[in-house]
């Protein structure tokens, strides 16, 4: 069945943790060795296996919620359920238990929460090891409701203490109990489920990569939505910088925000780990503005986060200037996990998605980290640390310990700023209530906009794998994000961790404008290379905003690689097209799917010569890329232009095997061969060129993606046999490249343990 366009929406993944802001105290006789008598109401049984079968399919789709539990409608109140007791002073105690057989966790909603002065509610487990509360009349939202977070286990007790002077004035009603059937990382021993379930390529915010972004990290919180799922969002500043607790997330996350719970500072304290504090939360909010056009929702929290939470309110940039965004990063809670950070070192750009109209910032792929379900609504920051978008959807995910190279898209803050005809569909009425016309605001924890401030874009036109060691220009964009024109810049830069060099520029860059600078040339060394650039001075003084003041790049240069080029002219449904290049069963390169409006694919790759590969192109609708729904085609060529694979008219997939010979300018050892033994190897391998091939001069070993993992430190002469330790090599396939005094040799090495 052919094809209908869809718009991906990033899912509302699951998450819940500790309590809302409470008011201290303990239930009656809490420290007594004798537990109180409690009547338990049993919840209906949950067919966990059936939900798990659904989850096996649904977890692959970002546009639907990733559940941690089943919402069970109830009708429980203090008049018809539970038991009352009267204390000697006339105060009354009401207790009711809830039993959900087999539940890992229980949470619920008071849809009617009415307490008199002095009334207190506590929630705890049957073993009295977990305590939430007290909750008082101050916890009720404007609808007199309250969502209550997790209690771990299959039994929960609710206790209401009512003062004698207000007897009969309190009322509690529960309309929803959530039976949690997926575990909560850090609160149970089980590791599966919403907490701790994000992919291994995600980066904790307290890793070194997150160090420069502390203010932005403090703004982000995870949201419990619909009582059994989660999104991410962040506090945002106003032009008045008055601390109004506005909270920005995605429109597609919206539901009954009055029962939402917002958890701040849920972070692993170190670079590793998936557990963090769960005690800093705020309950309830009011929706003030939203729009599908840029997928945003702006909420007003019922209570501002207390000073003890140490939060920041994010700055933002509503100019929507595509040229001004040189790089970006996101902070989020993927899969309900602790807070993570991801980086887009290239410039995101405006893109139309599905039925929306020019409302997204498009991320081709993340260089470090990714987003996942549960990251929805999280902020996208430009290189100056100001919000420019809210995560809406995408296909980015982990593929093992690296990302899958796929895209994400964010609703544009600049579109949300002034969209529609009323305050309920735009941001400016709330974030600029005095209508000052201000479009750029700093966060609440940093200095205001400064006179002299520049941002460095990513280093351009150098691929992470270079097929040769030819000289390369070091080029990057410089953007003026300050209030004054920039007339002079001094940059420091270092190549391959060598001596620091300086580059001086003079001219004029107007505010909100950019220029491109070529600051030097790198002569790549075989193997790993690095470039680091830093701002020294702007207009002869210090750039006080250090975000955006550094740019760096690491890449691999190969001496003996073959370059192949791939061109794909996409059909009318590019979202169905993916491809890969493999060696044996290892995927070396892959791409797709694509988005309507994308340019034709035009990429090049480095591959080891004297080896064979397979190119495969896929179409998820089983009708190829030609010719019923567009005249698509593909061509794979070598460096000389010779066709290695081509086509377009196929069904589900089409594969072509091809082999690459030696590189022009090199020669194979006449009649020689390279022997590798044992092969597969364990802790060592012997290299033997034999009498015909000559003596070793240099040895290099590449992994499956062309990275040098071992090379001889100096020329090796006078021997035809050489032993290499492979103890530190991961199992897999490697290419061994050898230079001898008679020519070049290569061979395939297998490591197995």
Q: What positions carry a catalytic annotation? A: 252, 295, 376
CA atoms within 13 A on the CB side of 374: 34
Phi-psi group of 647: left, alpha or beta (phi > 0 → left; psi -120 to 50 → alpha; rest → beta): left
CB 196 within 8 A of CB 274: yes
| CA dist., res. 140 & res. 674, Å (int) | 77
The greatest distance separating any two alpha carbons of the chain, rounded to the nearest whole angstrom, comes to 104
Closest C-alpha among 257, 231, 336, 330 to residue 10? 231
Token representation of residue 36? 């109180």
Q: In terms of Cα–Cα distance, which of 241, 307, 264 is closest to 447?
A: 241
Q: How far is CA 570 from CA 386, 394, 404, 574, 632, in A?
A: 35, 19, 20, 6, 5
- Would strands 360-363 and 408-412 be described as parallel, antiparallel, or unpaired? antiparallel
Nearest to 551 by CA among 227, 212, 264, 294: 212
Lookup result for tokens 């479009």: 439
Strands 261-264 and 220-225: antiparallel
Distance CA 77, CA 175 (A): 9
Write a three-state SS string for 349-416.
EEECCCCCCCCEEEECCCCECCCCCCCCCCEEEECCCCEEEEEEEECCCEECCEECCCCEEEEEHHHH
| Half-sphere exposure for 428 (CA within 13 Å, toward CB) | 19
User: In this structure, are residues 247 and 233 in contact, taking their beta carbons and an 8 Å threshold?
Assistant: yes
Contact 477, 326 (CB under 8 A): yes
Specify the 3-state DSSP secondary structure of 263.
strand
Q: Kind and range of the H or E element at 690?
A: helix 690-693
Q: Which residue has 């420069």 as its token pair? A: 212
C-alpha Rg value of the chain to the nearest Å: 30
* Cα–Cα dist 160/83, whole Å: 10
Name every residue whose Cβ is closer than 8 Å to that of residue 15 and which is 6 or more positions away in sequence.
68, 194, 195, 222, 224, 229, 230, 263, 333, 336, 374
Q: How far apart (Å, rounded) are the C-alpha atoms in residues 269 and 708?
A: 34
Yes or no: say if 518 and 473 are a contact pair by the CB < 8 Å rule: yes
- The runs of H, that is alpha helices, within 540-588 are none
| Element at 215 (helix H, strand E) | helix 214-217
Tell me phi and psi for residue 342, to 5 degrees.
-135, 155
Place of tokens 């010979």: 661
**Cis link prior to 593 (omega < 30° from 0)?**
yes
Return d(Cα 187, Cα 197) in angstroms, integer: 13
Letter string b/e over residues 191-203, b meaning 16 or more CB atoms within 10 A of that residue's CB: eebbbbbbbebbb
Exposed, middle or buried by CB within 10 Å (0-12, 13-18, 19+), for 680? middle
- Beta strand 246-249 with 229-236 is antiparallel
Closest to 660 measured CA to CA, from 708, 698, 605: 605
| Residue 247 dihedral angles phi and psi, to the nearest 5° | -130, 125
Can you read off the two tokens belonging to residue 128? 């009295």
Instruction: With beta carbons less than 8 A apart as the criterion, state whether 525 and 496 touch.
Output: yes
């Amino acid at each position: 069945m052919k094809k209908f366009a869809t718009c991906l929406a990033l899912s509302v993944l699951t998450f819940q943790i500790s309590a809302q802001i409470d008011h201290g105290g303990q239930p009656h006789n809490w420290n007594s060795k004798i537990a109180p008598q409690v009547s338990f109401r049993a919840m209906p049984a949950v067919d966990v296996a059936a939900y798990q079968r659904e989850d096996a399919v649904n977890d692959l789709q970002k546009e639907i919620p990733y559940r941690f539990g089943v919402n069970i409608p109830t009708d429980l109140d203090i008049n018809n359920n539970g038991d009352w007791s009267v204390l000697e002073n006339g105060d009354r105690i009401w207790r009711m238990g809830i039993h959900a057989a087999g539940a890992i966790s229980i949470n619920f909603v008071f849809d009617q929460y009415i307490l008199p002065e002095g009334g207190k509610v506590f929630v705890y487990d049957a073993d009295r090891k977990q305590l939430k509360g007290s909750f008082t009349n101050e916890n009720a939202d404007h609808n007199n409701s309250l969502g209550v977070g997790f209690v771990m286990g299959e039994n929960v007790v609710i206790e209401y203490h009512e003062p004698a002077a207000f007897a009969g004035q309190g009322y509690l009603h529960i309309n929803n109990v959530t039976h949690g059937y997926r575990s909560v990382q850090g609160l149970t021993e089980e590791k599966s489920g919403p907490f701790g379930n994000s992919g291994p390529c995600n980066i904790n915010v307290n890793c070194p990569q997150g160090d420069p972004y502390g203010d932005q990290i403090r703004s982000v919180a995870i949201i419990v939505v619909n009582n059994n799922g989660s999104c991410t969002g962040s506090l945002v500043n106003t032009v008045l910088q008055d601390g109004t607790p506005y909270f920005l997330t995605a429109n597609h996350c919206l539901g009954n925000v009055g029962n939402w719970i917002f958890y701040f500072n849920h972070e692993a304290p170190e670079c590793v780990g998936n557990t963090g504090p769960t005690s800093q939360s705020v309950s309830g909010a009011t929706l003030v503005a939203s729009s599908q056009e840029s997928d945003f929702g702006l909420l007003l929290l019922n209570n501002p986060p207390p000073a003890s939470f140490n939060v920041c309110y994010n700055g933002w940039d509503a100019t929507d200037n595509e040229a001004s965004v040189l790089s970006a990063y996101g902070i989020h809670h993927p899969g309900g996990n602790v807070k993570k950070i991801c980086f887009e070192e290239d410039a995101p750009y405006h893109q139309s998605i599905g039925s929306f109209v020019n409302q997204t910032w498009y991320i081709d792929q993340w260089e470090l980290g990714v987003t996942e379900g549960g990251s929805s609504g999280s902020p996208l920051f430009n290189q100056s640390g100001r919000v420019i978008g809210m995560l809406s959807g995408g296909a980015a995910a982990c593929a093992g310990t690296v990302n899958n190279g796929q895209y994400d898209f964010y609703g544009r803050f600049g579109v949300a700023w002034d969209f529609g005809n009323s305050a309920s569909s735009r941001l400016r009425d709330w974030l600029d209530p005095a209508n000052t016309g201000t479009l750029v605001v700093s966060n609440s924890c940093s200095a205001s906009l400064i006179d002299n401030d520049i941002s460095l874009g990513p280093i351009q036109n150098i691929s992470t794998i270079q097929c040769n060691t030819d000289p390369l220009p070091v080029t990057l964009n410089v953007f003026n994000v300050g209030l004054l024109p920039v007339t002079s810049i001094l940059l420091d830069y270092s190549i391959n961790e060598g001596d620091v060099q300086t580059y001086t520029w003079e001219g004029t860059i107007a505010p909100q404008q950019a220029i491109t600078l070529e600051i030097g040339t790198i002569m790549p060394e075989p193997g790993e290379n690095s470039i680091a650039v830093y701002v020294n001075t702007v207009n002869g003084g210090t750039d006080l905003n250090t975000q955006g003041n550094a740019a760096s790049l690491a890449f691999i240069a190969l001496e003996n690689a073959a370059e192949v080029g791939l061109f794909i002219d996409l059909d009318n449904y590019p979202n169905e097209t993916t491809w890969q290049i493999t060696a044996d069963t290892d995927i070396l390169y892959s791409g797709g799917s694509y988005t309507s409006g994308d340019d034709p694919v035009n990429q090049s790759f480095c591959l080891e010569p004297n080896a064979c590969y397979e190119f495969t192109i896929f179409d998820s609708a089983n009708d190829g890329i030609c010719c019923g729904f567009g005249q698509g085609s593909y061509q794979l060529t070598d460096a000389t232009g010779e066709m290695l694979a081509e086509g377009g008219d196929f069904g589900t997939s089409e594969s072509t095997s091809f082999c690459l010979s030696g590189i022009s300018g090199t020669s194979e050892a006449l009649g020689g061969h390279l022997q590798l033994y044992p092969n597969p190897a364990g802790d060592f391998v012997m290299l033997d060129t034999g009498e015909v091939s000559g003596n070793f001069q240099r040895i290099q070993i590449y992994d499956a993606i062309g990275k040098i993992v071992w090379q001889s430190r100096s020329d090796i002469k006078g021997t035809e046999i050489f032993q290499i330790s492979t103890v530190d090599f991961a199992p897999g396939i490697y290419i061994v490249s050898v230079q001898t005094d008679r020519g070049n040799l290569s061979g395939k090495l297998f490591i197995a343990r």
